[in-house]
Structure 1
Amino acid sequence: MKNNSFSWDAFNDAPVVGIMRGVTIDTIHRIIPIYIKAGFSTVEITMNTEGATDLIAEMRSVYPQINVGAGTVCSLEDLQKAADAGAQFIVTPIINEEIFAPCKALGLPIFPGALTPTEIYKAWTLGADAVKVFPCSQFGVGYIKDVLAPLNTIKLLPTGGVDKKNIGEFFKVGAVGVGMGGSLFDKALIQPGKELELEAHFAHIKAEIKGVQEPTLA
């Protein structure tokens, strides 16, 4: 297995997990250099993407300066495949208690998915490095603020419903990071010929979080 060292410094400098689902290696090679140029450093390839492990391995080889993780990890089998491919962190949409200890043994940060305060607290006590609040699209910034009122020691990573208009608000209420999929890797902007527009899009998002994030991970 490859060196799976996750750079917390890189993540904290740009605390966005870019979620890539259903992408091809050609698309990755076209847009990741733009992503890196904009100052972002963390990408998640979902395990339900065709050839996900090959994509993770390729990205680890070609882009060693960024964190490359595996998302939609729901089982020990998913975890082993992701780890063997060189994933540097693990993201789940659910709480599967079986994968926490193996992640710790492998030195892989884990961001498990949870929604209710009870689920969020459970994920944290099981050893989450941050809890992915999912799907946040139905609840928004106010929900994160409300959850953090009593659970202020838990690090939250809202995912779903985060876009360039509201991303700064999530950090202002105490999120340590966010997960972004289609609102970050906009389908219209990741097409060939849209590189300049994509660069401007990434720059806009980076500018929205600069100076507003307060808590950091690890």
Structure 2
Amino acid sequence: MNTTERAFSWELFNKAPLVGIIRGLLADEVSQILPLYRDAGLTTIEITMNTAGAEAIIADALTAHSNGLNIGAGTVCTKDELEKALDAGAQFIVTPIINKKVIKACVKRGIPIFPGAYTPTEAYMAWSLGASMVKIFPATSLGPSYIKELKAPLNQLKVMPTGGISLDNMSAYLKAGADGLGVGSQLLDKTLIAQKKWPELKAHFANFLAAYQSVIGR
């Protein structure tokens, strides 16, 4: 594997810091979705390790679609899952929890890591261990005001609320100080995917980018 070609791009991420979450989709569906995702202007997507065949899907995605996309692994909870994800070529790692061994292993290898945290103590711990950005999860239980309150004393933290993020509330999270957003079923619309409505799905992706850009003034 050519690690130079396959390295995570912060330049790409910062163009559209929305991390799409692919969970439970089939390999052929993913291969249809990724070009649409990229063409809509989105840049970073994770494939969860509890998706059937996740390792093969990640490897195939990197082979066919890595140009213009960051492709990572999500729902990584153990060191064993981390090794499988990295062996498949994952360019970044997302976890729903804090596992110190997973975070430290990523930091040591220079792999961006977005660990999940809920409380201020957990968020600060994840950041202190070397997290690239802390995934605040589940964000829907906390709301945008929590992000603002969290970052008041801990303004050095970079945070990515995840869970329940939608077109309707993403601007509120961004205005509250979110540095990125993790978006699952609201972005990867399973009805559009099941019905193979690919032009509509691409337009749906573009709506999320437009909503982000309207908040940051691009």
TM-score bucket (shorter structure): over 0.9
1:122 has 2:125 as partner = yes
Paired AA for residue 7 in structure 1: S
- How many aligned positions are there? 214
How far, CA to CA, are the matches of 2:75 and 2:196 in structure 1?
Answer: 30
- Counterpart check, 1:100 vs 2:103: yes
Spell out the pairing of 1:22-171 with structure 2 (5 A cutoff). Answer: 22-65=24-67, 66-171=69-174
User: What TM-score results when the alignment is normalised by the length of structure 1?
Assistant: 0.94
- Tell whether the 8 Å contact from 2:147 to 2:173 is kept in structure 1 after alignment: yes
Residue of structure 2 equivalent to 1:197: 200
Per-residue deviation at 1:61? 0.3
**Other structure's SS at 2:21 match:** strand
Q: 1:2-38, CA deviations, whole angstroms, 9 ceiling, x for partnerless residues?
A: 5241000101001011100111111112221111111
Distance in 2, Cα, partners of 1:211 & 1:150: 27
Deviations 1:169-202 (A, max 9, x none): 2111211100001000011111244122212211
The structural deviation recorded for 1:209 is 0.4
1:212 Cα deviation from its structure 2 partner: 2.5
Structure 1: gaps spanning 5 or more residues: none
SS in 1 for 2:82: helix
Report if aligned partners of 2:171, 2:215 keep a CA contact under 8 Å in 1: yes
Q: How far off its partner does 1:111 sit?
A: 0.3
* Structure 2 length-normalised TM: 0.94
Give the C-alpha shift of residue 211 in structure 1. 4.5
Contact persistence 1:92–1:111 (CA under 8 A): yes
Task: List runs of 5+ in structure 2 lacking aligned partners.
Answer: none
Cα deviations by residue, 1:29-57 (Å, 9 ceiling, x for unpaired): 22211111110111101111111110000
Residues 70/2 of structure 1: CA separation in 2 closer, same or farther (3 Å cut): farther
Q: Deviations over 1:38-90 (max 9, x none)?
A: 10111101111111110000000001221110111111101111111000001
Q: What is the distance in 2 between the residues matched to 1:172 and 1:181?
A: 20
Would you say the 8 A contact 1:176–1:213 is kept in 2? no
| Partner-residue secondary structure (3-state), 1:212 | helix
Percent of pairs identical after alignment?
A: 51
